[in-house]
Structure 1
Amino acid sequence: MKIKFLIFIITISSSVSIVAQERAKDTIDDQVVNVVTPYKPTISDAFKIKDTPKLQDSNLVKKKEVKYNIFSIPVASTFTPAKGKAATVDKAKAVKLYDNYASLGVGTYTSILGEVYLNHELSNSENVGGYFSHHSSQGGIEDLLLDDDFSTTHLNAHYSQKLRDFSWKVDGGFDLMTYNWYGLPQNFFGQTEADMIDPSHTFNSFYLGGKINFEDAIINDGSVRFRRFGDNQDSGENRFVAKAGFDIPVQGEAIKTKLYVDYIGGSFDTDYENLGDINYGNVTVGLSPSYQLTQDDLTVNLGLSLVYLNDTELSDNKFFIYPNIDASYRLVDEILIAYGGITGQLQQNSCYDFATENPFVSPTLYVAPTDQRYKGFLGLKGKLSNSVSYNVKGNYYAEENKALLKANDARGDATADYQYGNSFGVVYDDVTTFSVAGELNIDVNRNFTLGFKGEYFNYDMDNEAEAWNLPNVTGSIFMDLQISEQWYAGASAIYVGERKDQQDLVATLLPQDPSPVISLDSYFDVNAHIGYKINDQLSVFGKVNNILNQDYERYLNFPVQGIQILAGATYQFDF
């Protein structure tokens, strides 16, 4: 059969060769004939490649079966394979946050520091809470002729509710502060006069207020607050402040507007020279519209403040107009932002503010508002990296009737415990101030933060010889460190530059030369604290203040306590 198939192939090949030779001799030109016909496929034209092809050759050779053998040799081994386990991510333990805490500490100079903060959720929209704090010391500053103990106690309670369209909050509280006029000028008086003085001075304050915030309304927010402030020398002061913020639509734009009413009225039994009582009172009404323009990296706020003042004691009325303009421009994204502006305000002074700033004031203060005609500022701020931010600013103030706290003169005919030069009064002057301030914040991570602040001041007075008790330089450094999950620490340092004051001995038969201006030395106060978290609820802490043990004078004739050490504990809890 194979021979027949071979003869057939040879015959066909010979025929093709003969035809090819005869065609080479053909003289007819080649022509191309294109036959076009539609293709009509049928099912039989399709074929499918089989996944597992099968050979049709019947002469297959059977594959010889091969057997493999492994010659195992027993080997002594102590290895025991562990069972496989899927890798998992370690989840951090959820930190339990508590709504309430109580803290108590005791320290040198027989100091007691206590705080209690309470907050309870009545429902999803209601909260009630309160705050209590107490700080006292029995004193013990060396070389004093009068007692220097003090005590401050603050109590506050609040209730808040959040509804669908608005939220509101009311709060009230009471403050009680006791200090001593212990700064007796020993160049004028001695132990004889000290034995006749009762230096204790007590302030008391009661306040009540509330605020409300609206959602999607013309009126954005509002607040009211009333405070009654007095002391054990029959002084008294009432102050009521109401504020509201709302938007005024103008041609599709919103003009943000603030409106406020500020009333203050008070009295003192006598002035410092015992010439008569002191009464003061005024009402101010202010309106401050503002419009914001934003274009690319530039933001500008254009506004002004209109203020009406009615002096109820002198029956005098005044009207003030202040600029209220500021702008910022992003020079390099968040790295470099330039900003500046010019603003002004009528600043309402009060006996409460003076006593909070300097608790050694006498109950003989003249209280009047300060006209800050304008405050110009220009600065640069931004980020040097993701963890370092900065702010540099220059300021220029022009203020009329600026309040300055100055030491009272020592009286040779003193009849009151504060007339021995151991208290402070207030004087007013027109002052222009230039200052340069800088700030640097380093937030490396959640466990470490570091900050620096500093500012230089230059004052120009119209009448007074100096800007009494205002420093020429201030600075501060602060640091917080989370050492481990249990340990934490922090430190701060405050620098206050040189200040000026003056004090004379008056009302005496002996001739006295005017006292020169007295310079109070600058001081550097370093403080530190450390704490250990025993568990989620209980921790202990220690604090050290005035680590350098400086005996500086914060005010004239008023030295501060030396190094102070305090230790205590804090407990967190829920109801």
Structure 2
Amino acid sequence: MMKLAKTILLTGIIGLTSGWAMAQTQQRGAVTDQEFVIRKDRVLTVPVQPRIYEKLPVLPKPSGLNEYTYMVSSYPLNIKPLDLKAEPSQKVYTPERLDLYPGYIRAGYGNFASPLLEARYMGTEISDFNYSLQLNHQSFGKGPVLGEESKEAHTNLGFDGSYFTDLFEVFGGVSWNQDSYRFYGEDPNFLVDENGMFAGFDGNVLQAVEVKAGIRELEKVGPFSYEGQLSFRNFNDSYLVKENQIGVEVSGTVRPNDDWAGRVGLSYFTTKPQDLNYSENRTYFAIRPTVSYKYEAFNFTAGLNLVSENDLLENKSSDFHVFPVLKANYQFAEEFGFFGEFSGDVQRNTYYSFVNENPFLGPSDQLLNTVQNYKIEAGIIGQFQGAFSYRAAANVSRYNQMHFFVNNYTNNLVTTDSARFSLVYDDKTTVYNINAELGYKFSDIYSLNGRLDLYQYDLSTQAEAWHRPVWEMRVNNQLTPIDRLIVQANLNLMGGVKARGHDLNDILGQETSTGPFEVVKLNTIADLQLKADYGITDRISIFAEGNNLLNGKNMRWLNYPVRGIQFIGGASFKF
């Protein structure tokens, strides 16, 4: 230790002495020559030291958990319970302001001298009584044949009102409808009658007044719900047809729990039609009890259709009909499910329903309901990717007294009014149908819906399914490219329609009209529609519509071509 101290002291003295000597020999501020030697080839090395790795010590394994017994002592405390007072939240919720306009008017005009007018007015105030008024009118002053000789017009006016209580709603309304047509469907082979005049240009005005009143329960999800309605309708045309109808419809539903539900529906109609060749009283009474069961994704319905009707028909076995109702569906997943049905019913037909299907219907000899003996259907349904939906099914139905429309020809080369149609019935008809539906929706910008139907008819007394299609296809598109603009494009196709022409025996000079008849194949019907509506403001918008843009010579009824390309435009206003 002493040796180390002496060495350090000697080194310090030598250093101080050298510094003093240099300071004495060097003058302040003088520059002296110095020599520096830089060696680039010198390598500095550090001796390698070995690393020592030591293993972690092995920890002892924990022993298993042991059972412990604790003694819990009770220490009662004499503390008063907390007295909490609930107070409502004072947060202010600002509801979104909605501008409700009670009035609406839409007016336009197009080719074929076609004015359009729609008007509605309804109560928007919150009250026990609510009401609405509506008026619609559209006419075509010119048509496809001889201008004004094929015109038509449609007008309806209605009022609806509802009075609300805490438990139920009392509703009612009255409506008036008028449709006028010109019978322009002349036959090129028979242009004149026995007096040398063509009878096809007569016009007809169809008028119907309907009044209804009823009551319904407001809470549709409670253990019991009900609804009842009483209605009256008067219908007449410019000729001899009159039809009065009184109807009563009542339904009730019981839901003992979320899985089971029972429903009973009753309907009674009495109709008194009067035509050129008959006048009768027709009654229709039906009771339809059903029971439904739901278990997770499985739904099942069973019931009966009990129907009594008094139509006069030769060799009719009974006025009373009983049909089963069995329906089931099961959704395996959102993408796939199946459904099936086995049922039967009686379809109620009136002159008013017939003339709504074919407005060129003439005097009829008999009105009959259509009995659906059975319907068997099975299919699949589902959706995927949240945008696509589909449905496909196949069914077979058996009918009695299925109705068809045929042109009103007589024998001996004489036509009284070839522009009018008559009703004919087939005793036993079997209809096979395959249908498919597809839907697609891309947010609120674009949506598509399409349906395809294929039919096959097996008939017993009629040669063909007159004026009924063999296939139908409908495609509806809606596009919203920008805000306030809605564009619709619809395509309706129908093919395989056959019409009954002249009695071939009549053409050969025989005095019979029992057939065989000429079969007239109508061209495929193709109707392309385009509609656009643009809202300029919240109250004012403009619209444009185009129908039959392919300018097809469509003919739904024999000798009745429809109008060509139709355009109509206008504006609407809310107030």
Q: Which band: TM-score by shorter chain? A: 0.7 to 0.9
The structural deviation recorded for 1:255 is: 2.7
* Structure 2 residue aligned with 1:177: 179
**Conserved in 2, the CA contact under 8 Å of 1:448 and 1:479?**
yes
In structure 2, how many angstroms separate the alpha carbons of the residues matched to 1:365 and 1:207?
25
Give the secondary structure class of the aligned counterpart of 1:553: coil
Question: Of residues 465, 471, 482 in structure 1, which corresponds to 2:463?
Answer: 465
**Aligned positions, number:** 471
* Structure 2 residue aligned with 1:389: 389
* Structure 2 residue aligned with 1:260: 267
In structure 2, how many angstroms separate the alpha carbons of the residues matched to 1:308 and 1:453?
35
Please give the TM-score of this superposition, normalised by the length of structure 2.
0.76
The structural deviation recorded for 1:411 is: 5.8
Instruction: Write out aligned runs for 1:137-148 (5 A).
Output: 137-142=140-145, 144=146, 147-148=149-150
1:421 paired with 2:423, answer no
Question: Of residues 466, 474, 477 in structure 2, which corresponds to 1:476?
Answer: 474
Please give the TM-score of this superposition, normalised by the length of structure 1.
0.76
* Structure 1 residue aligned with 2:332: 331
Aligned amino acid, residue 561 of structure 2? P
The structural deviation recorded for 1:250 is: 9.1
1:565 paired with 2:567, answer yes
* Structure 2 residue aligned with 1:201: 204
Q: 5+ unaligned residues in a row in structure 1: which ranges?
A: 1-90, 270-276
1:127 paired with 2:133, answer no
**Conserved in 1, the CA contact under 8 Å of 2:223 and 2:256?**
no
* Structure 1 residue aligned with 2:242: 236
Q: Over residues 485-530 of structure 1, what are the superposed CA-to-partner deviations in whole Å (9 max), with x where a residue is unaligned?
A: 2332111010001211112269989816954211111121101012
Q: Over residues 413-471 of structure 1, what are the superposed CA-to-partner deviations in whole Å (9 max), with x where a residue is unaligned?
A: 869xxx32111111111211010111111111122211111110011001100111100
In structure 2, how many angstroms separate the alpha carbons of the residues matched to 1:529 and 1:148?
25
* Structure 2 residue aligned with 1:487: 485
In structure 2, how many angstroms separate the alpha carbons of the residues matched to 1:507 and 1:431?
26
* Structure 2 residue aligned with 1:302: 302
In structure 2, how many angstroms separate the alpha carbons of the residues matched to 1:423 and 1:311?
24
* Structure 1 residue aligned with 2:541: 539
Instruction: Report the CA distance shift for 1:503/1:304 in structure 2 as closer, same or farther (over 3 A).
Output: same
Instruction: Report the CA distance shift for 1:253/1:543 in structure 2 as closer, same or farther (over 3 A).
Output: closer
In structure 1, how many angstroms separate the alpha carbons of the residues matched to 2:352 and 2:384?
41
Q: Over residues 539-564 of structure 1, what are the superposed CA-to-partner deviations in whole Å (9 max), with x where a residue is unaligned?
A: 11111111111112111000010001
**Conserved in 2, the CA contact under 8 Å of 1:107 and 1:564?**
yes
In structure 1, how many angstroms separate the alpha carbons of the residues matched to 2:110 and 2:505?
43
* Structure 2 residue aligned with 1:79: none
* Structure 2 residue aligned with 1:550: 552
The structural deviation recorded for 1:249 is: 8.4
In structure 2, how many angstroms separate the alpha carbons of the residues matched to 1:393 and 1:510?
46
Q: Over residues 127-165 of structure 1, what are the superposed CA-to-partner deviations in whole Å (9 max), with x where a residue is unaligned?
A: 1111111111012315x5981000111111011112101
Aligned amino acid, residue 275 of structure 2? F
Give the secondary structure class of the aligned counterpart of 1:555: coil
In structure 2, how many angstroms separate the alpha carbons of the residues matched to 1:390 and 1:312?
43
**Conserved in 2, the CA contact under 8 Å of 1:150 and 1:180?**
yes
**Conserved in 2, the CA contact under 8 Å of 1:219 and 1:247?**
yes
* Structure 2 residue aligned with 1:88: none
Aligned amino acid, residue 461 of structure 1? L
Aligned amino acid, residue 269 of structure 2? D
In structure 1, how many angstroms separate the alpha carbons of the residues matched to 2:182 and 2:280?
26
In structure 2, how many angstroms separate the alpha carbons of the residues matched to 1:138 and 1:533?
29
Instruction: Report the CA distance shift for 1:132/1:411 in structure 2 as closer, same or farther (over 3 A).
Output: farther
In structure 1, how many angstroms separate the alpha carbons of the residues matched to 2:549 and 2:197?
31
Aligned amino acid, residue 546 of structure 2? V
Instruction: Write out aligned runs for 1:72-91 (5 A).
Output: none
Q: Over residues 184-235 of structure 1, what are the superposed CA-to-partner deviations in whole Å (9 max), with x where a residue is unaligned?
A: 1011225994566541011110100123212457551111221111111121
Q: Over residues 316-346 of structure 1, what are the superposed CA-to-partner deviations in whole Å (9 max), with x where a residue is unaligned?
A: 96111111110001122x2111001111111
* Structure 2 residue aligned with 1:154: 156
Aligned amino acid, residue 112 of structure 2? Y
**Conserved in 2, the CA contact under 8 Å of 1:543 and 1:566?**
yes
Instruction: Report the CA distance shift for 1:253/1:558 in structure 2 as closer, same or farther (over 3 A).
Output: closer
* Structure 2 residue aligned with 1:498: 496
Aligned amino acid, residue 457 of structure 2? Y
**Conserved in 2, the CA contact under 8 Å of 1:533 and 1:539?**
yes
Instruction: Report the CA distance shift for 1:189/1:127 in structure 2 as closer, same or farther (over 3 A).
Output: same
After the TM superposition, which of the residue ranges 539-548 and 285-294 deviates more from structure 2? 285-294
In structure 2, how many angstroms separate the alpha carbons of the residues matched to 1:194 and 1:562?
28
Q: Report sequence identity in percent.
A: 24
In structure 2, how many angstroms separate the alpha carbons of the residues matched to 1:436 and 1:316?
32
Give the secondary structure class of the aligned counterpart of 2:556: strand
**Conserved in 1, the CA contact under 8 Å of 2:504 and 2:517?**
no
